[in-house]
Structures are given as structure tokens and as C-alpha cells.
A and B are shown apart, each in its own frame.
Chain A
Amino acid sequence: MNFQMILESFPTLLEGVRLTLELALLSVSTGLVLAIGLTVARQSRFVALQLLAKGYVFVFRGTPLLVQLFLLYYGLSQFDAVRASIFWVVLRDPFWCSTIALALNTAAYVSEIIRGGVLSVPSGHIEAAHAVGMSRLTIMRRVVIPVAARQALPAYGNELILMIKATSLASTVTLLEVTGIARQIISRTYAVFEVFIAAGVIYLLINMVAVVAVHVADAWLHPERRRPPNTMPVRNA
């Protein structure tokens, strides 16, 4: 173990942080939009849409992300039609393939999280909102979404961390994000433990930021937990 080596590998590894964050942020945001679409499809009146959403979730949760990524990046190049199409610009690029694979994958998990949140809204709340004459959109905005978001946030926070960790798979399709660079340094210097510690600390720090962000969002979603404003400190007599 060489402390100097840990410090020396830090700057090189930090060069990969940008790519790791780009992958995570892009795929998490696209995945969220996709997940909302999936949840809507799952609750729709059309059986075909329901089955499609159900099948999607089943397939993407039932197979490893690595297979999904390889199918997209290595697999699709097998077809001449794909290589000739306009999508080839995107599909031959490891960054876009990783982002798409990560987004498609997380969408399946997040749609289940959202569905759980929406189902947790008591039907009495919605009936009460109807009774006071709220429109469908207002009910969604003022009743369903706030309650569902509170319920879903802890699970969503877990998924965020899993996604940040999952960006490391992009190193298997030649991308040099933190794990890719770590592998490169290890194969050059054989300083396995030092590089692992440095890279591990970077991931732990990124995940810590994510955890704090989820905490902040949680506090924001729970206004009832906040201290009421303008209260005088109560002194126990």
C-alpha cells in the first residue's frame, strides 16, 4: 500500500468524473420521462398499452444491464440496415449507447416506483378532491402527485445511487469514465488497492451528494415537518 500512489491517481481519476456525471444525469432524466410514460401506459384503459408497459418492465428488469448495453452497442451493428440508417451516428457512439441503455433500464425500475407511489394515494383523498369540485388536472397537481412523490422518494433515491454505480458499465464499451480510467491505471501500474481506494472515494462522494439531494427534496416535500415560522422559543417554566 502506497499512500503517495493514492494521491497521484486522484487527478487522473477526476478527469473521468465529468463523463460519469454526464452519463448519470442524462440517463436519469430521460429515464424519468420514459418511466412516467410507462406508468401512464400501465394505468391506461387500453389493454394493449397495459401489456406493452408490463412486458417492457418484465424484460428490462429481468435481464442484466450489461446484456442490454451489449445488445445495443455490439448487437445492432450486425444489421446492415442499422448501419445504413440515420440512427447509426448515434448507435455507433459508445456514449449515446450507454446513455440509452441506462435510460431504458432505469425507466423500468422507476416506473414501478412511481406506480407504487400513485397506488399509495388513498382513494378517499381523490374522492374528497372530486367532491370539492377540483378538475382532473388539479387533482393530479394538488393531490396525487405531492402524495405519490413523498411515498416514492426514498425508493427513487436508492435507484439514483444504483444508477450512479451502473454508469461504471460504460467502461465495458470503451468509455473512460471513472471505472474505465481506474482499470487503465491498474493495468499500467499494478497499484490495485491504491487506485481502488481513490476511485471508491470518488464514487462514495458522488453518492453522498445524491443522498443529501434526496434529503433536501424529502424536506421540501414534507412541509408539515418544518418548524412553523415566527415562533418564539418556548421556555420550560
Chain B
Amino acid sequence: MTLTLLSFGPGGWGSTLLIGALMTIAVAVTSFAFGLVPGALAAMASRSPHAWLRALALVYTTLVRGIPELLVIYLFFFGTSSMIMAIVRLSFGYGGYIEVNAFAIGVLSVGLISGAYSAEVIRGAIASVPKGQVEAAMALGLKRWVIVSRILFPQALRVALPGLNNVWQTTLKDTSLISVTGLAEIMRSANMAAGVTHEPFTFYLVAALIYLLFTWGSARLFARAEIFSGRGLKEARP
């Protein structure tokens, strides 16, 4: 194990690893944020009076939570390009190989996985807001949007934060699986460095430490957010 391998100079892999680490953050944040969209939609659908919407939400969350993440990533990795190629071939007559951006595939697949877990958290959080709060807001004549943004959302967010923290941590770790698509996030960067230098332990250890730093750091951020969102409540004071 030599430290010069991790330097930023020539022959060092420091910059590759740094870019990989930044890519991991970028793809994790985007996937998590993107996942909140199907998550919120599924949460709303599961509380809908229409049976088919509830069934749709159930199918989405059950399927995604019951099928391995890696398999879902393979589906999008191999599936989207073959689908786009088929469409292009049919409409433009171009039969060549088209590769879809690995970042987009990563965000799409990990985001959809993350969304299935977010859905449960969001649904529970919305259900935790007492009915009287919404009824009081309606009685005051507040508009639908104002009720959602000023009454429902702030109170639900406080309840959702611990659960969302869990989903975020899982999403962050799931991004390591995107390395199979060739996206140069931290895992892929460590792979490349390990292959060239024949020092796999060194580089995977560095990757592990970077993940540990990210999960630890973001857990602290969430803890602060929980304190902030509970500032109006007695029991939440530190």
C-alpha cells in the first residue's frame, strides 16, 4: 500500500477518486430527489378513493421492493437503449447502436427504487397529521394549495424526516450498484484504479471510507434538520 497512489499528482489516483466521490453525491442527490416524485404520487394514490389508483400504488411499491435493485438497474441499463434503438429504427430507419447516458439510467433506476420506499414514509407522515388540522384550515377558508403548503406539509415533514433519512442512506449506498453501468462514480473509479495498480484493497478501502464519511455526514445533517423541524415542540428539544 503506497500513499503516492492516492496523491493528486501524476501517477496518483486522487483526482479520479475525488471526481468519483462528487459523482456519487450528484447521482445520489438527484436520484433521491427524483424518487420523491413517484414516492409522493404513490403516497397520494394509496390514500385515493379510487380503487384502481390504490392498486397501482400497491403494485409499484410491492414490485420494486420485492425485486433486487441490481436487476432493476440491469432492466433500465439494457432496456432503455434497446427500446430507444427500436423506436429510432422504426421511425428513422437508423439501425446503429445507441447508448443512453449512464447518469440518466442511474437516476431513473435508483430513483424509482428510492421512490417505492419514500412512498411508505410519506404516506405515514401525511396520515399522522390530525384530521382536525385540515378541517380547521378548510373552515378558515384557506385554499387547497395553502392547506397543503402551510398546514399539511410542515407538520408531515417533521414526522417524515427520520424515515426519509433512512431512505436517503439506502439510496446513497444503492448508487454503488450503478457502477455496473460504467458510470464513473466512486465505486467505478476504485474499480479502475484497482485494475491498473493491482492494489484492490487500497482503493476499495478508500471507497468504503468515502461512503462512511458521506453516510455519517448526512446523518448529522438530518439530525440537525430534525431538531430544527421540531423546534416548536417541547419533547423535540435537545
Contacts and interface: CB of A to CB of B under 8 A. Distances in A.
A71 B208 contact: yes
A63 B70 contact: no
Contact of B200 (A61, A78, A199, A200): A78
Interface stretch (B8-16, B31-39, B72-80): B72-80
Nearest to B78: A192
A66 B71 CA distance: 14
Contacts, number: 114
Q: Which secondary structure dominates where chain A touches chain B?
A: helix
B174 A64 contact: yes
A186 B70 CA distance: 14
Contacts of A78: 198-202
- Determine which residue in A58, A66, A76 has the highest number of CB atoms from chain B within 10 A of its CB, and name it: A66
Nearest to A201: B67
Interface stretch (A3-11, A166-174, A213-221): A166-174
A198 B25 CA distance: 33
Interface residues of B, number: 38
Bin the interface of chain A by size: 35 or more
Contact of A165 (B62, B68, B208, B215): B68
A168 B82 contact: no
Given A74-B194, A78-B202, A66 B176 contact: yes
Nearest to A82: B201
Interface in B116-167: none
Contacts of B74: 179, 182-183, 186, 192, 196
B156 to A, nearest CB: 23
A67 B207 contact: yes
Contact of B68 (A74, A186, A203): A203
Interface string B159-195: 0000000000100011011011000000100110010
A59 B75 contact: no
B56 interface: no
6 contacts: A67-B211, A71-B204, A161-B66, A166-B68, A168-B70, A196-B75
Given A63-B215, A77-B200, A167-B68, 5 more contacts: A66-B177, A70-B200, A75-B201, A190-B82, A204-B67
